[in-house]
Amino acid sequence: MTGDSAARIAQAAERLVGVPFRLHGRDPASGLDCVGVVGAALSAARGPVELPIGYALRNTSSGDYRAWAARAGLIPASGPVEPGDILLVRPGPAQLHLLVAVCGDRFVHAHVGLRRVVATPGAPQWPVAGCWCLPPHLPLCPAAKGER
C-alpha cells in the first residue's frame, strides 16, 4: 500500500508503543491487544473500524480475520510488505496474531509476554497467514486528515 493512508497507519501504530497489553483492549489509555492495536492504527487513517469480538487468546481459524478484514475495507496485499500493511501471523499451532508494518523491517504489535505494545525489528519471526492493506483509492475521512 502506498500513500498518505499507509503513512498514517504506520505512524499511529508507532505512537502506541508502550501502551499496556489488555486482552480485548480497545482503548490506549487502559490497554490494547493485537486487534486493538490494528483498530487504533486503522482508525487514525480512516475513522472508526468494526473490530472482531469474542475471540480467545488461542484460536486456529483465520477465516474470522479474513472476513473481518473484508468488512473493514482491507484488501489482500501483494508484493513486499509495506508500511501500513496489516499482517496475520501464526506464533504457534493454535494462535493467530496481528502486526502493523511500520517500515520494511519493523512491526508494531501487542506482546502478551511483555504486557505492552512493542516495536519488533526484523522480518516477522512467525509464518504469515495473511497480509492486507487499504485500497489505494479509499478516501481518508475528514477527522483522519486533521479537518473538522
Residue 138 placed within a domain: no
What cell does 78 get?
501483494
Residue 52 placed within a domain: yes
pLDDT score recorded for residue 144:
43
Residue 145 placed within a domain: no
Bridge partners for 100 per DSSP: 86, 108
**Residue 11 belongs to a domain with what CATH number?**
3.90.1720.10
Tally the domains of the chain: 1
- In the chain (148 residues long), the average pLDDT of successive 10-residue segments reads 79 97 93 95 88 68 77 89 94 90 92 96 91 72 40
Residue 80 placed within a domain: yes
pLDDT score recorded for residue 147:
37
Residues in the chain: 148
pLDDT score recorded for residue 121:
95
pLDDT score recorded for residue 66:
85
Query: Which residue in 46, 7, 52 sits closest to 26, CA to CA?
Result: 52
DSSP secondary structure letters along 48-101: ------S--SS---SHHHHHHHHHTT-EE--SS--TT-EEEEEEETTEEEEEEE
pLDDT score recorded for residue 71:
85
pLDDT score recorded for residue 61:
59
Give the domain range for residue 120. Answer: 4-133
